[in-house]
Chains A and B, each alone.
Chain A
């Protein structure tokens, strides 16, 4: 808000202050990372060590070996579930948001309201009915159940975000496409979607992240541990080996690898997704 150029002194002051704040804020992550490389013995040491004195990579190695500590399978399950759910959400939400942005069809307002309301829905409302429904559909205890359920979080979010992108595209662009011989479908596919691409990327990221972070659906709709997503795997492991912190923290780090990669490579999309009326489901 103050647009004045800061003096060198206050520039340095604010830089130091902000870095200090950042260190405090991200301390839990740092601490988890450090702990994951310590031995069980070192973790219990008092006073605690601020970096691993004995480097222990067993907690990571065990995750790809056979046995109880194998998280690799769960990671893969999560990846498949999140990717599929993201695809469903984006494929359905892109045309829907275009429609809301461009056409004043019958029931438009009601549908828009419907998407807004579903964004505020607590999982608890859907869990039991979905559980019964998926049992009847014979998809209970398969990947399909959390895939279908997770997409219900991604769709409304994506529709609401993308409609702003489509609305901001000048009508003239679409009309020019019609003159050049496009029909509505081809103009949508070849002209409008490419222009709205940043929005599509934002939706893909968030739909993926919602599904990646889901615990309730993955845990409730899948019974077999070997088919469950990583969040449910971690939760399950916590129940069994509650104090094996070296393994637990290593699982946590593995579980946030995709989140970190997305953050590093697509940061600008995340900020834009969070600000354009974006909200966590």
Chain B
């Protein structure tokens, strides 16, 4: 009994160490989440933000959302954006990881350098791609023209049908390093003997890829994709700087639409209801991710 008592006393000292961080997060994350939920059930606009009565209007904001064509558009755009980015960044990331798994001389330093895009401020990335995709001075139009693929310059960022392509390309550029590095690490955990014995048994490279690499890499692939989904689904800065959601909402995402409602149209309550929808989706996917990763951990 005494032992149990002292055990608890020892362990609860831990609370003292975690308390400051916990308090901080409670104040600057916990409280905002809660007040965002409350806000979404009110009718707060610029008129009653500081003073004035904030009326509770129940689910009205959410009901309005689903009748709002821009919201529906933002929802489908976000899904489209996320899926496209995931496919391409995974594909390129995987190819690079396979390349860097070979033991050639430059493997380590070059792999290090490919991490740079991931570290850059999104605003800078957005600026660079906006420049490269611009109609008259853009290098992309020039290269496509020189290669004979297009006859006239494409107005990438001001045409609804092409703006999405431009933002996807920019985001894939950021996402490749993240995929490469995680998949690279995953590849190192596959025992070399498996490849050796497979070679002895006459398996070719393609067979080894599909019969050994991919199945054994599955846990890594799962978490790379789920994490990628979470981080792509909530991308904000990149798209906001490149297109501000335009033209005609063709790149409007849930994140940019929420910002627009709150800080351009000053419809704070409506903006927060969009943010909550975004949050709810991420929360559900997040739980899925935790289920995948927690299986292996003792916690």
Contact = CB atoms under 8 A, between A and B. Distances in A.
A141 interface: no
Contacts of B262: 127-128, 131
A118 B256 CA distance: 20
B104 A14 contact: yes
A121 to B, nearest CB: 7
B162 interface: no
B124 A255 contact: yes
B255 A124 contact: yes
A11 B102 CA distance: 9
A176 interface: no
Nearest to A100: B18
A259 B39 contact: no
B102 A2 contact: yes
Interface in A116-146: 116-118, 120-133, 135
B275 A29 contact: no
B103 A271 contact: no
A263 B134 CA distance: 29
B278 interface: yes
B104 A123 contact: no
A179 interface: no
B25 interface: yes
A147 to B, nearest CB: 11
Most chain-B CB neighbours within 10 Å: which of A25, A31, A263? A25
A61 B41 CA distance: 51
A248 B131 CA distance: 9
Interface of B: 10-18, 20-22, 24-25, 28-33, 35-36, 39, 49-50, 96, 99-107, 110, 112-125, 127-132, 134, 136-137, 139, 142, 146, 173, 176-178, 181-182, 185, 187-188, 190, 192, 195, 213, 227, 230-231, 233-234, 236-237, 240-241, 254-255, 258-259, 262-263, 268, 271-272, 274-276, 278-279, 282-283, 285-286, 289-290, 293, 299
Given A32-B127, A103-B13, A107-B15, 16 more contacts: A10-B104, A28-B129, A47-B142, A92-B24, A96-B17, A96-B18, A99-B14, A103-B12, A111-B22, A113-B290, A118-B25, A128-B262, A132-B35, A214-B121, A234-B127, A259-B119
Interface of A: 1-6, 10-11, 14-15, 17-19, 21-22, 25-26, 28-29, 31-32, 35, 43-44, 46-48, 88, 92-93, 95-96, 98-100, 102-109, 111-118, 120-133, 135, 148-149, 151-152, 155-156, 159, 184, 188, 209, 212-216, 220, 231, 234-235, 238, 243, 245, 248-249, 251-252, 255-256, 259, 262-263, 267, 270-271, 274-275, 277, 279-280
